[in-house]
Amino acid sequence: MKRIVLIVFIGISMLSCSKENPGKFSREALEDVFISSEGNETPFNKILKKHKGKKILIDVWASWCPDCLKSIPEVQHIQEEYKEAAYVFLSLDRNTRDWKNAIMRLKIKGDHYFMQSGWEGKFGKFLDLNWIPRFLVIDENGKIMVFDATKASDKLIRQSLEIM
């Protein structure tokens, strides 16, 4: 009996830890300003508009993050499989120099933005960001399909991109 109670308790605890998918971005998150790789300030809503009509895989990462670096090859495999999707990388690096050097060194293809507001900015707070890497998949109409994946190998990422 103790074993059953323990299993139920662990199951309920695990469910309560997952973040609920809000379905759409808050106004504040959409207004948060990022720095493009060309050095331009870009609100998040313009990043989404740039890719309207496509599915978007968003990777929140940093070059100092070991788990983020381990996930890059998997993301690159996904890019090879789902060429029709757009790929947006949002960096939480400490500075733009390290961020840009990592993009070049790791040959990361996609649209790149620096999260100048950091973990505690409007976008980070919307995500309730406490771990990176963090992956989101947005559908062609801007709906959030995957909200809280922390591994590029999460089956929901491929399943969401599959429906094209």
12 within some domain: no
Q: What is the CATH number of the domain that holds 73?
A: 3.40.30.10
Predicted TM-score (pTM) of the model is 0.87
Total count of domains within the chain = 1
Percent of the chain with pLDDT over 70: 87
151 within some domain: yes
22 prior amide bond cis, ω within 30? no
* 3-state SS track over the chain: CHHHHHHHHHHHHHHHHCCCCCCCCCHHHHHCEEEECCCCEEEHHHHHHHCCCCCEEEEEECCCCHHHHHHHHHHHHHHHHCCCCEEEEEECCCCHHHHHHHHHHHCCCCEEEECCCCCCCHHHHHHCCCCCCEEEEECCCCCEEEEEECCCCCHHHHHHHHCC
Note down the domain range covering 148: 21-162
135 within some domain: yes
89 within some domain: yes
Over residues 29-45, the pLDDT tens digits come to 999 999 999 999 999 99
Over residues 126-162, the pLDDT tens digits come to 999 999 999 999 999 999 999 999 999 999 999 999 8
Percent of the chain with pLDDT over 90: 85
39 within some domain: yes
> What is the per-residue pLDDT for 20?
79
3 within some domain: no
Over residues 7-37, the pLDDT tens digits come to 444 444 344 345 678 899 999 999 999 999 9
14 within some domain: no
138 within some domain: yes
